[in-house]
Chain A
Amino acid sequence: MKSRLYLGFVVWITACAIGLFTFGTPRSFAQSPDALKKAQNAFDTAQQDYLQGKYDEAAQGFLDAYAARNFPQFLYNAGAAYHMKGKKNSDVVAYGKAVENYKKYLAEDPQATDKPKVEKAIAVLEEEIKRLAAAGVGSGSGSGSGSGAAPPPPSTEVQNLEVKVRGLVVIESEPQNATIYLDDKKKGAFATTPWSGSLDGEHKIIIEKKGFKISESSLSADPSKLLVFKAVMSEEGYLGWVEFQANIEKSEIYMDDKSIGAIGHTPLAQNVKPGKHTFYISSEGYDEYKQEIEILPGQTYTIKADLHGTPIGKINVQGLGIEDATIYVDQQRLCERGPCLKGIPQGDHTVEVTRPGFKSYRRRVNIQAKTETQIKVGLAPMPSRSDAVIAYILAAGFTGGGIYLGLQSKHLHDDLAKEITAGLPPPDTNDPRLLKGKIFSIAADVSFGLGALTALGALYYTFREKGAPSTGLIDVRALALLPQIGPGYAGVGMESHF
């Protein structure tokens, strides 16, 4: 039996997804809201002109939008509009303007993720200009509706170039320089505000900044529109700011109660309520890092965990009815319910399996690195303790009887002593109360004695081992991480041999 994990494939998918989602880089946007409004109007008009084939107007609209807000994407779109005009009429001038705007785009955003594609487009268009100039072709006329002799068709290279104007998503915050998380903080920081770029689909935008309340919103990006998302963040003066770091990337971060799950993965920075907190940073295969900090409002703290590796083995607890059982290792709850498959450091551990109404199974096992220790538990039902209950009732009865008899004896003693002292009538030496009191006294002592013995018996019945104990079968299997290559996949897989 084999099991395989295609780790490499997963890494690749994640990288591609990130690449598909993002084409933007942060820029400074220290301009007024009116400018943004003006840019948005110019962008919308330019989009309509582009769709109607009015490429000059469209290009001018994108340049107007850029004049209002200097988002590099506007330059790219202007270039794309001229590119389409040039492609439609083999217009050398339009091609030149396209190249000019493409270059401006790259100059404005040298880290653009589509830089290779844009550079390729520039190269192809410059060759096309040369080709058309050599053929004596001039510029087209009008607004893209050519006239006169039919221009030569675009070269094959130009034909193969994909030309499309892009929508734009702008994420800003007030104040700026806030951390943007996309969908889930656990994925890590996405960018900082201000940010502009392309996004496909619907996303959850989380914006966080030290000293300000966290902002969470949903965003549905339209590839044909300029979408501006601005988060005005209110100050969070009473929170502290904690930055988590670890030498192991994506280590899990827990705060105070580990049972509620991780609050994120390293690296992470976030606001934390003031007070004393315990932070745990752990990663499978490494010792847990723990640090207690007294968080003060408005203060910044850095937790830097240096995790050291620990050899890990796996424990697998299963058995009939295990779904109702709780599994503890070294008195710490490992699994709320079974079956339980978890990695734990190698060494001696005490495993305990408890289930209401059943005897607990407790066993000390030695976990070895790169092995899976399987424990198949058979929990025995808890036997009845009615014998102990009866013994307790008898003990209580004897003790109660002893108390009653003792009180009666004391009452008789007090009466007799009082009458002997006072007389009228004085009790005599054969007064029946003397014998009665003595009998009560002896009976009380006997009753106390029986009560004590019965109570001891009850304690014995309570704690004695009764019935068959819970059992467990232990099986140890070797585990290994091996390179895996096969048709359609390659990566690292884990195998277990038994």
Chain B
Amino acid sequence: MRTTTLSLIAAATFVASTGCKWTDFDDLETEAWVESTEKPDGNSNDYGIALSRDVRASADGGSLVVLGAGQALYTELSYKPAGGASLTTDTEVKLNTQFGIGNLDNQPILIADSATDEVALITNSGGNGSIAILAGTHTMMSSQVFGPTTPDAAVYFKATSQATTKVFVGSADSVYGFAASPAPQPKCQLVDDAAAPLAIRGMAAAKITSTTDDDLVVWAGDGKLYVFAGVTFDGCATPAAPIAPVLDLGFAPVHNASMQIIDGHYLLVGGHHDNDAKSLVALVDLMPATPVTVGTPLMRDGLKSVTFLDVPDGRYVVAGFPSESIDGTVSGEVLALPISTATGIDPTPKAMLHDAQPEGNQAFGRAVAVVQYNGKPTLAVAASNEIFFYYQSPLYGETRRR
């Protein structure tokens, strides 16, 4: 019996000393510099349909706004300074419970105010015959635009009559907002350069005619960019006409096209079709009398999301292609394309990001955002029910963790 016991101890010691250490994989997980956060709660079954930065600046860690669908959720993911993400539960908002909004588009309009830490979701109010504007910082306050029910575009806009930026919502051929002064002016119809009503697909605010107030740049359903003077929206009594001449991009995107101002007067536009996979990304200089594209627009099938990343190592257009095939698996990828205000967009990507273990229909890159993390811009990518947060990437080549 004693011999048997000693033999068992010897065998256990042998196994312990020569066996496999599973804790090595915990160490590897700690060493990984891409934080992957799977759906952090069970309240939505389609988590990560839209991303936005939360606050504009964060010296310690960072936070990311993530929308979920079915049921509709507003959540914030908090990233710790040394890595690791968790759901900020006290800021989670169940949109159906709180606002009666049960359904969201597959790419809902989620915008961030460049002047404040506010973030806004613009969507159908859910059976009330109106558009809901849910805006706030770490919370959501609801406003409604009655009349239209489907938003096509939205932008934070500094109107002449307003001291701060307000949300402008574009629906069909009109712009809605609270810029009217003295009386509210909830609707302003836009017409094109031929005085015909246009179809709004995207909106951006840029200070072109004024150094203090915004003008409105509209990407219309005819494939053209129109610039409307900001003063137009201070009590719009008649249909507003654009400032001539216009720039024809030759590509008519579906609604909620991406339009992002760079350095005040460059405009990064990104849009795609619904009926086919065609898309366009272009850099436009708005300052000349006639706006022009810088460089050659990028036209690559499958684009669904675009954002701009400005890091010390360079500037990049970060474009998500969620239907891209990786190693034979339709899992999606994100391209980081160098961009320059002098030469436009370089079609050769600096980085091609995707899941190291691609999964079918993962929809990697269906939403992208740049988040301030530890005081530095950091890339976040949404996939189906999963958020990837790049503490380090070939774009900035350093770890963002302390």
On A, residues with C-beta under 8 Å from B are 402, 405-406, 409-410, 413, 416-417, 419-420, 423-435, 437-438, 440-442, 444-445, 448-449, 452-453, 455-456, 459-460
- Determine whether the beta carbon of A445 is less than 8 Å from that of B20: yes
- Determine whether the beta carbon of B357 is less than 8 Å from that of A444: no
Q: How far is the CA of A459 from the CA of B7 in the complex (A)?
A: 11
Q: How far is the CA of A80 from the CA of B355 in the complex (A)?
A: 131
- Determine whether the beta carbon of B386 is less than 8 Å from that of A448: no
- Determine whether the beta carbon of B11 is less than 8 Å from that of A456: yes
Given contacts A402-B19, A420-B31, A427-B34, 20 further A-B contacts (CB under 8 A): A409-B22, A410-B20, A416-B25, A420-B33, A423-B394, A425-B353, A425-B356, A426-B32, A427-B356, A430-B386, A434-B28, A437-B22, A437-B25, A438-B22, A438-B25, A441-B22, A445-B15, A452-B11, A456-B4, A456-B8
Q: How far is the CA of A452 from the CA of B386 in the complex (A)?
A: 42
Q: Which chain B residues numbered 94 to 120 have a C-beta less than 8 Å away from chain A?
A: none
Contacts of A437 in B (CB 8 A): 22, 25, 28
Contacts of A452 in B (CB 8 A): 11-12, 14-15
Contacts of A428 in B (CB 8 A): 32, 34-36, 355-356, 388
Q: How far is the CA of A405 from the CA of B392 in the complex (A)?
A: 32
- Min CB–CB distance A306 → chain B (angstroms): 49
Residue B53, interface by CB 8 Å = no
- Determine whether the beta carbon of B19 is less than 8 Å from that of A429: no
- Determine whether the beta carbon of B388 is less than 8 Å from that of A417: no
Please tell me the number of chain B residues within 8 Å of chain A, measured between CB atoms.
37
Q: Is the interface of A mostly helix, strand, loop or mixed?
A: helix
Q: How far is the CA of A448 from the CA of B8 in the complex (A)?
A: 13
Contacts of A427 in B (CB 8 A): 32, 34, 356-357
- Min CB–CB distance A422 → chain B (angstroms): 10
Residue B366, interface by CB 8 Å = no
- Asked if A448 meets B19 with Cβ closer than 8 Å, knowing A441-B24, A456-B8, the reply is yes
Contacts of A406 in B (CB 8 A): 19-20
In-complex Cβ contact of B20 among A430, A441, A455 (8 A): A441
Residue B274, interface by CB 8 Å = no
- Asked if A426 meets B34 with Cβ closer than 8 Å, knowing A438-B25, A456-B8, the reply is yes
Q: A-B pairs with the 4 shortest C-beta distances?
A: A428-B36, A452-B11, A430-B36, A441-B20
- Min CB–CB distance B55 → chain A (angstroms): 24
- Min CB–CB distance B144 → chain A (angstroms): 39
Contacts of A455 in B (CB 8 A): 11
- Determine whether the beta carbon of B354 is less than 8 Å from that of A420: no
- Asked if A432 meets B19 with Cβ closer than 8 Å, knowing A438-B25, A441-B24, A453-B11, the reply is no
**Most B-side CB within 10 Å, residue of A410, A424, A426, A453:** A426
- Determine whether the beta carbon of B25 is less than 8 Å from that of A413: yes
Residue B393, interface by CB 8 Å = yes
Contacts of B357 in A (CB 8 A): 427, 431-433
Complex A-B: 10 CB contacts under 8 Å: A405-B20, A420-B31, A423-B394, A430-B38, A430-B386, A441-B20, A441-B22, A449-B15, A453-B8, A456-B4
Contacts of A440 in B (CB 8 A): 20
Contacts of B82 in A (CB 8 A): none
When C-beta atoms are compared, the residue in chain B nearest to A449 turns out to be B15
**Most B-side CB within 10 Å, residue of A409, A423, A445, A452:** A423
Q: Which chain B residues numbered 1 to 45 have a C-beta less than 8 Å away from chain A?
A: 4, 7-8, 11-12, 14-15, 18-22, 24-26, 28-29, 31-38
- Determine whether the beta carbon of B356 is less than 8 Å from that of A431: yes
